[in-house]
Amino acid sequence: MAKAKLRQILAADKGKVPYLERQKKLQKEARKRKRVQDEKEEGSSGDEEEDEEMKVDGEWESDDSEDDSEDDERVIDMSKLEDSDSEEEDEGEDEDEDEDEEEEEETKKAKNGILKSSKATTATTAADEDDEEEDEEDEEDIPLSEISEEDHDPEADIIPRQKLTIDNHSALTASQSSIAIPIKKSTPFSTHHTIVTSTPVEIKDVHDDLTRELAFYAQALDAAKQGRALLLAEGAPFTRPTDYFAEMVKSEEHMGKIKEKIKEQAAMKQASADAKRQRDLKKFGKQVQVARLQERQKEKREMLDKINVLKRKRAGADMGDENEGDPFDIAIEKAEKVNGREGRDRRGPNAKRQKKNEKFGFGGRKKFSKSGDAASSGDLTGFNSKGMKKNSFGSGKKAKAPRPGKSKRQGRR
């Protein structure tokens, strides 16, 4: 059969996925078991069994593949309608997975007609359920292959795989009632201290820390308020008196550490805020400085301009005084302005240049500059006849007046 071949190929495909191997094994076992069961139950109606399998397959598909389930479901419904005459009526409904499972379970039990002791119910139902699951898995070729494809895709997110699981409601409620503390309305609140919120806590995004913690906080706060009111109404002690000291959950040492941590954090926060402020100030300060400098420069320029204007005015006034009515004075000024360089040249080179010129030969020959010549010998400006008389040759009168006496020198002072 083509179907069998396809199944083989798919099985080979599945073989790569490690967790599916286990399932395959289970499937085999289940198939074997089922065959045995079938033979026991009704050797003749093998077709019906297959039909049922088909139906189960359809249901599984409708549960699993949500995106393209529209068409499939229609088909399934059709198949169900066809099958419904041979099957129980309640199976025709398309409901939740769990409920369906349970119903199937029950019908199966009815079919088998096996009476089960109440104590062993849970175990057998669990086993039965297992059977059912594995039967279902038997036929679910397409969804599994889809899953395996997704697994091969490296980009795909890790999808929490939908395992078929046990959820035995009756056993759960039984075990709950077996251990439950009998809390009635009459039992005082102080015995159990339990508060259940009036509405279920809903958190939009569990991964958003803030909203999640806020929801928890709100829940706890509400409980605290309620509990306090209830306890106070009952007259039970609630608030710890201020002079009641006892060991705490966190030791002094630990609290000290926490305090330090908090302080440190506060300090860090302040430091960072300060630094930020400083940075801002610095930025602002620089702007201020630049502005101030510009202002100063502007002032200076203005002052200089004023002075220049004043100077010019003064100069203009002087000129006006001296040569009043002279029509040519403007022309002279212009000429002076044009010959600015020449005007400077008239003053000659600067002192340094002059000195250098003297020293390095720009002032004519210097070789015999110190030796006498006709002009120097003819120059008698330094001659003094008196000096000749005085002490030129050590003779003559004492020219120098004698040193006055002490008293006279004192008095002169």
Partner 1 sequence: MSAVLKSVTDARSTKSKEESTDSTNGIDKKFRQRVLILSSRGVTYRQRHLLQDLTSLLPHSRKDSKLDTKSKLHQLNELADLYNCNNILFFEARKREDLYMWMSKPPNGPTVKFHVQNLHTMEELHFSGNCLKGSRPLLSFDKTFESKPYLTVVKELMQQTFGVPKGARKSKPFVDHVMSFTVADGKIWIRCYQICEAELGKKDAMETEEDEENKKKAAKKVGRSETEISLLEIGPRLVLTPIIIQEGSFGGPIIYENKEYVSPNVLRAEYRNRRAQKFNVRSAQKVGREIKKKALRLDKHRVGGGGGKDWEELQAGLKDLFQDDD
Least spacing, CB of residue 138 vs partner 1, in Å: 19
396 torsion bin: left (phi>0), alpha (psi -120 to 50), beta (else): left
Q: Is 245 in the site for partner 1 (CB under 8 A)?
A: yes
| CB neighbours of residue 294 within 10 Å | 10
- The torsion angles phi and psi of 180, rounded to 5 degrees, stand at -60, 140
Using the rule CB under 8 A, which residue among 2, 196, 351, 374 binds partner 1? Answer: 196
Choose which of 45, 84, 197, 272 interacts with partner 1 (CB under 8 A).
197
Total interface residues for partner 1 by CB under 8 A:
85
Among residues 115 and 206, whose Cβ is nearest to partner 1? 206
**Is residue 210 within the footprint of partner 1 (CB under 8 A)?**
no
What is the per-residue DSSP string for 354-375?
A: HHHHHHTTBTB--TTSSS--HH
Q: Name the one range near partner 1 by CB under 8 A: 57-65, 84-92, 131-139, 209-217.
A: 209-217
Q: Taking CB under 8 A as the rule, does residue 8 contact partner 1?
A: no
Host H or E run for residue 344: helix 340-346
Minimum distance, C-beta of residue 139 to partner 1, in the bound complex (Å): 20
**One-letter identity of residue 392:** S
The residue among 176 and 350 lying less far from partner 1, judged by its C-beta, is 176
| Interacting span for partner 1 (CB under 8 A) from 64-72, 99-107, 227-235, 277-285 | 227-235
- Measured CA to CA, the distance from residue 184 to residue 409 in angstroms comes to 137
Q: Which two tokens stand for residue 232?
A: 């106070």
CB 238 within 8 A of CB 228: yes
Question: Does residue 253 interact with partner 1 by CB under 8 A?
Answer: no
**Three-class SS of residue 144?**
helix
Among 5, 185, 244, 340, binds partner 1 (CB under 8 A): 244
In the list 221, 271, 303, 310, the residue contacting partner 1 (rule: CB under 8 A) is: 221
CA-CA distance, 253 to 249, in Å (whole number)? Answer: 11
Which residues in the 366-385 window bind partner 1 by CB under 8 A? none
Minimum CB distance to partner 1 smaller for 203 or for 388: 203
Question: Looking only at residues 278 through 317 of this chain, which bind partner 1 when binding is defined by CB under 8 A?
Answer: none
- Residue 106 tokens, joined: 């029950």
Residue 180 binds to partner 1 (criterion: CB under 8 A): yes
Half-sphere exposure at residue 352, Cβ-oriented, CA atoms within 13 angstroms: 0
**Cβ neighbours of residue 121 under 8 Å, at least 6 residues apart?**
170, 171
- Distance of alpha carbon 353 from alpha carbon 143, whole angstroms: 107
- Using rule CB under 8 A, residue 163 touches partner 1: yes
- Gap between the Cα atoms of 38 and 135, Å rounded: 13
Q: Select the span of 8-16, 55-63, 77-85, 313-321 touching partner 1 (CB under 8 A).
A: 8-16
Residues 336-355 that bind partner 1 (CB under 8 A): none
Residues 65-84 that bind partner 1 (CB under 8 A): none
Nearer to partner 1 (CB atom), residue 238 or residue 284: 238
Q: Is residue 117 near partner 1 by the rule CB under 8 A?
A: no
Q: If binding is defined by CB under 8 A, does position 266 make contact with partner 1?
A: no
Query: Is 186 strand, coil or helix?
Result: coil
By the rule CB under 8 A, 10 interacts with partner 1: no
